[in-house]
Amino acid sequence: MKNKKISGAEAVVHSLLNEDVDLIWGYPGGAIMPVYDELYEFQDKLKHILARHEQGAIHAAQGYARSSGRVGVAIATSGPGATNLVTGIADAQIDSTPIVCITGQVSSHLLGSDAFQETDIIGISMPVTKWNYQITKASEIPEVFAKAFYIAKSGRPGPVLIDITKDAQFELFDYKYSKCKGIRSYNPLPTISNSSIDNAVELINNAKNPFIVWGQGVILGNAEKEFKDFVEKSGIPAAWTILGLSALPTSHELNVGMVGMHGNYGPNILTNKCDLLIAIGMRFDDRVTGDPKSYASQAKIIHLDIDPAEINKNIKVDVPVIGDCKESLKLITNKIQKKSYDKWISRFDDLMKIEFEKVINSDLNPKKDGITMGESIIAINEFTNGDAIIVTDVGQHQMVACRYANFIKSKSNITSGGLGTMGFALPAAMGAKMGALNREVVAVIGDGGYQMTIQELGTIFQQQIPVKIVVLNNDFLGMVRQWQQLFFDKRYASTEMVNPDFVAIAKGYYLDSERVKDRKNLKPAVERMIKSKKPFVLEICVEKENNVFPMIPSGASVSDVRLN
C-alpha cells in the first residue's frame, strides 16, 4: 500500500476504516458512484446497508450512534440524495448525536452551473451541522475525514457533513492518514474552574429542598456512574428530561420521574417549590420549562454543561459549572456531605399518589373496553423485563412510552426529542439494533409517524434486522387531535387518518405481523413478538380519543400542570 497512489474514492473507504467504522447506511446515485464502487471492493471490512430513502439511512445512523455510543455514518448522492438527509442532520444537531454524513457532489468544474443533481448542500446544511466541508481535491480527504470524526464525537457531539465532488473521488494521490488530535480554534473540553465546583458544593450543602434535573449530557458524557454516585451521596431527588431517560434506572429510589410538558405531576409542581435546582447536561428546552419567567424563580440554580453557549441561554443560573460532567460530578460528589431529604421526598410521593389516582390508574387499568397506549407499554415491560432499547417516534405514544417504559440500562431510550421528527422511530430502531446486536430493540410508533418512513420495512426485510415494531394505532394524529380538542374547540382539522391494513403491508414485506384489538389478546401477542427471533410488526388498535396527561399547556408555568 505504501506510496501507491489511490483514488479519492478509495481514500474515503480507508479513512472510514481508519476511524474504526464497520457499518454505514446509505443510498447510491450518480455523484457518489466511485465511492460505492470502492465499497463493493471492501465489503468484507465495511458493511453498507442500503436504506429505502436517504432519510431512513440517516435516522438509522442516528439510532446506531445512540445505542452504541459510536459515530453513525450515512452516505448519499448529490442533489435530492443530499437534501433528503437534511431532516436527520437537523435532528442530530438539536439532539447532539455524533453523525458523519458523506454526500457526492457534481464535478468541481460544474459547481454553480446548475448541473444535473447539483444542490448547494454545504449552504443548505450549514445552520444544522456542527461542521461541514466541501472537498474538491482528493488530497484533502484524509485530513478532512480525521477532522470530521474528531468534531462529531468530541465535546458536545453533533452532525458533520462532508461533500465530495466527483472529480475528487476519481483523482489519484498519495494517501496517508493520521487521526485528528486537536483543532486550534475549537476547544471541546473546557477546563472546569475550581471556584465553580466550590460554589456548587456550598449551595448543595446548604440546601433544604434541593432537586436535580438531568438530561442527555449524562449519557453523552458516559457519566452514568458518576451521576448515580452523586445522586446517592447527595440524597437529592432527581428527575429526567426526555433525552436523559435511562441514564438512571427507572426503579432507583431517588428517580422521581419526568419533567416537562407531559412529565410527572410532582417533579413539575416541585420545580417551583425547591430551593436549589441542579441541572445536569440539559438545556432548559421550552418543553421542559414552560413559561421561563416563572420557572424555578424561587430557587438558586446550578447548571452543569459542557457547552458554554447553554449557560444563561434560556434560564439565568447562579452557578454555572462548565465542563465534562463526568469530571465535574466526581469533583462535586467528593466535596459534598452525605445527606437525605425524607420529608422533601415524601412530597414527591404524595403528588405521585394524586397522579396515580387521576391519571395513571385509568391509563394502566382502564375500565373501558378499548386498549390504552399505557397498558401496551406495560405489556412490553413485562416481556422484556425492562431490559430493551425502546425507540419512539413523536406524539402521544412517545410521551406514554417514556412515562411508562421501564429502564435498567443506559442508552436504552432513543427518541427524537428536540426536533420532534415524525418518521424517526422505524429507521432509528433498525440502526439501534445494528448498534447493539445483543439487545432487544422495540420500536413504538404511532400510525402517523409509521407511515412517514414505512418504506424502511424493506431494509429490515432485506437485512433481516430483528427489530420488534409496535404500531399504536388510534387512527388519528393523536397529539395534534388532543390539542385540537383542548385548545381549538374540537375542530379536528386534518388529523383523522384512514389507515391501510398494516398487517398486510408488513406481510407484503414478508415480515411476521399480527393485529390486536382486544385486551385479552394483548399480552399473548406481545409475548409472541418478544419471543420471536425475527423482525415482527405488531399493530395494537388503541382507544381513538384518549389524551396524554399530565400536561402543561403551552406557555404556562410548570406549576400549572393539569391532570385532566
Partner 1 sequence: MEKKINYTISVYTENNVGLLHRLSAIFLKRHINIESFTTSECEIKDVFRFIIVVIMSKEDVENIAKQIEKQVEVIKVYFHTDHETIFQETALYKMKSSSLFEEKHIQNIIKESNARIVTVNPDFFVIEKTGFRDDTDKLYENLEEYGLLQFTRSGRIAVSKEKMGISEILNTFKNQK
Per CB under 8 A, the list member of 42, 173, 177, 186 interacting with partner 1 is 186
From 5, 41, 43, 116, the catalytic residue: 116
**Dihedral, CA of residue 533, residue 499, residue 420 and residue 64, to nearest 10:** 20
483 touches partner 1 by CB under 8 A: no
| Segment contacting partner 1 by CB under 8 A, of 183-191, 339-347, 353-361, 540-548 | 183-191
From 430, 479, 529, 551, the catalytic residue: 479
CB of 328 to partner 1, least distance (A): 19
Total length of the chain = 564
Three-state SS for 132-163 is EEEECCHHHHHHHHHHHHHHHHCCCCCEEEEE
Which is nearer to partner 1, 3 or 182 (by Cβ)?
A: 182
Per CB under 8 A, the list member of 2, 184, 531, 533 interacting with partner 1 is 184
Cell of 236: 437529592
4 touches partner 1 by CB under 8 A: no
What x-and-dash track marks residues 105-144 binding partner 1 by CB under 8 A? -----------------xx--xx--xxx-x----------
Q: Which residues contact 102 (CB under 8 A, 6 or more apart)?
A: 12, 26, 32, 35, 73, 74, 75, 76, 161, 162, 164
11 touches partner 1 by CB under 8 A: no
Is residue 25 within 8 Å of 392, Cβ to Cβ?
A: no
The answer to whether 353 is a known catalytic residue is no
Q: How many CB atoms lie within 10 A of CB 524?
A: 12
286 touches partner 1 by CB under 8 A: no
From 33, 47, 117, 461, the catalytic residue: 117
CB of 276 to partner 1, least distance (A): 23
**Dihedral, CA of residue 7, residue 11, residue 13 and residue 18, to nearest 10:** 160
Which is nearer to partner 1, 108 or 463 (by Cβ)?
A: 108
Per CB under 8 A, the list member of 30, 308, 366, 370 interacting with partner 1 is 308
Site for partner 1 in 153-182 (CB under 8 A): 181-182
Q: Name the 3-class secondary structure at 105.
A: strand
The answer to whether 226 is a known catalytic residue is no
From 10, 19, 38, 54, the catalytic residue: 54
The answer to whether 1 is a known catalytic residue is no
The answer to whether 116 is a known catalytic residue is yes
151: phi then psi, degrees, rounded to nearest 5: -70, -40
Per CB under 8 A, the list member of 70, 233, 273, 313 interacting with partner 1 is 313
Q: Name the 3-class secondary structure at 76.
A: strand
The answer to whether 232 is a known catalytic residue is no
Q: How many CB atoms lie within 10 A of CB 300?
A: 20
CB of 207 to partner 1, least distance (A): 27
Q: Which residues contact 525 (CB under 8 A, 6 or more apart)?
A: 514, 516, 538, 540
Q: Which residues contact 246 (CB under 8 A, 6 or more apart)?
A: 219, 407, 409, 410, 411, 412, 413
Which is nearer to partner 1, 131 or 502 (by Cβ)?
A: 131
Is residue 310 within 8 Å of 283, Cβ to Cβ?
A: yes
Per rule CB under 8 A, count of chain residues that contact partner 1: 21
Per CB under 8 A, the list member of 3, 178, 185, 194 interacting with partner 1 is 185
Nearest to 265 by CA among 360, 351, 363, 356: 351
341 touches partner 1 by CB under 8 A: no
293 touches partner 1 by CB under 8 A: no
The number of CA neighbours under 13 Å toward the Cβ of 283 is 16
309 touches partner 1 by CB under 8 A: yes
Nearest to 511 by CA among 533, 540, 531, 526: 533
189 touches partner 1 by CB under 8 A: no
Residues designated catalytic: 54, 116-117, 166, 479
Which positions lie near partner 1, rule CB under 8 A?
122-123, 126-127, 130-132, 134, 151, 181-186, 307-309, 311-313
